[in-house]
């Protein structure tokens, strides 16, 4: 077991999963998302980036594994990213140790780094709500509900709250406020992608970026995205024209501690080292981890 506890949160690794718990003053997106258990098969890499105040841990997931990252489409700020952790200056050694343990496990278990064709994390728990600007979106697992506040356009207020059954949702798109441009949370119905400005679209929440809590709209998007039928999911992301490429499942093999399996991995590590794929340091670390389990 390797773990690190900071004011920003806690990460722990037991060899199979990375458990992430946000700190009490973490960004609202991380607090609302709560504890995350990331299976090793969903991890593409991990790094510690030192700086004069300590540093930052970054867990890189395989493309398509996390519905929150899929819904965010690379637009999350560092503070809102659940897979980043600010490390205090006195905890840098622990952070580096945690990175080594995760990297060793990735090498030993031969986890691919490529994209996956299904979500490997469950996404936000429902019911979930989020937003700001001219309204709030909520989702209970079966129905999306959009409610408006006094800032909404008259046409939205006059029409009242909007209810959309999940069966009618064919796409969900979240864009945060960027500079002077408003953001939005949009829901597509029946395959129709609206081009109307979000402030006039009854199936969109207009986000102004005046509060950190407006970012929580991405959690609603992720919760809906993970529950949309697979045929509709590829169209759910803005700018994504094709589905995530499928990955053939790795052939089943004996338990990780099986003697023959570990010996075979030692040979494979030696071949990777001889081919120049693993550096001397990486080879020594991975070899030591395997020998420890023999």
The pLDDT assigned to 243 comes to: 44
The C-alpha atoms of residue 148 and residue 168 are separated, in whole angstroms, by: 21
Q: Within a 13 Å sphere around the CA of 141, how many CA atoms are in the beta-carbon half?
A: 6
pLDDT at 223 over 80: yes
Question: Would you place residue 43 in the very low, low, confident or very high pLDDT band (cuts 50, 70, 90)?
Answer: very high
pLDDT digits (tens, 9 = 90+) for 253-286: 344 445 666 676 777 777 776 766 567 766 776 7
pLDDT digits (tens, 9 = 90+) for 137-185: 999 999 999 999 999 999 998 889 999 999 999 999 999 998 878 999 9
Q: What is the pTM of this model?
A: 0.78
pLDDT at 63 over 70: yes
Q: Is-contact 256 263, C-beta < 8 A? A: no
The pLDDT assigned to 282 comes to: 65
Residue given tokens 């409610």 in the structure block: 147
Which residue, 197, 30, 233, is CA-closest to 130? Answer: 30
* Bridge pairing between strands 17-22 and 9-13: antiparallel
Between 247 and 39, where is the model more confident? 39
Least confident among 26-30, 96-100, 124-128, 271-275: 271-275
Q: Is-contact 108 289, C-beta < 8 A? A: yes
Mean pLDDT of 46-52: 94
| Phi, psi dihedral angles at 103 (to 5 degrees) | -65, -40
pLDDT at 236 over 80: no
The C-alpha atoms of residue 217 and residue 207 are separated, in whole angstroms, by: 9
């Amino acid at each position: 077991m390797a773990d690190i506890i900071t004011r920003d949160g806690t990460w722990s690794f037991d060899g199979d999963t990375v458990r992430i718990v946000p700190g009490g003053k973490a960004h609202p997106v991380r607090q609302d998302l709560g504890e995350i258990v990331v299976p090793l098969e969903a991890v593409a890499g991990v790094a510690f980036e030192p700086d004069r105040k300590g540093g930052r841990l970054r867990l890189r997931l395989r493309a398509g594994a996390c519905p929150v990252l899929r819904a965010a489409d690379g637009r999350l700020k560092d503070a809102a990213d659940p897979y980043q952790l600010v490390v205090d200056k006195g905890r840098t050694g622990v952070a580096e140790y945690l990175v080594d343990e995760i990297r060793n496990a990735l090498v030993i278990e031969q986890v691919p780094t490529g994209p996956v064709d299904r979500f490997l994390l469950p996404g936000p728990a429902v019911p979930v709500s989020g937003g700001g600007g001219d309204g709030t979106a909520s989702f209970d697992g079966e129905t999306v509900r959009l409610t408006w506040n006094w800032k909404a356009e008259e046409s939205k207020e006059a029409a009242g709250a909007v209810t959309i059954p999940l069966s009618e949702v064919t796409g969900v798109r979240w864009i945060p406020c960027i500079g002077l441009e408003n953001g939005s949370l949009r829901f597509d119905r029946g395959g129709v992608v609206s081009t109307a400005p979000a402030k006039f679209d009854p199936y969109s929440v207009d986000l102004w970026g005046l509060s950190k809590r407006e970012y929580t709209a991405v959690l609603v998007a992720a919760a809906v995205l993970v529950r949309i039928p697979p045929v509709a999911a590829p169209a759910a992301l803005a700018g994504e024209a094709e589905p995530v490429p499928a990955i053939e499942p790795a052939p089943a093999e004996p338990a990780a501690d099986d003697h023959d399996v570990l010996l075979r991995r030692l040979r494979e590590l030696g071949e990777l080292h001889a081919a120049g794929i693993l550096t001397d340091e990486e080879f020594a670390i991975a070899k030591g981890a395997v020998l420890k389990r023999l």
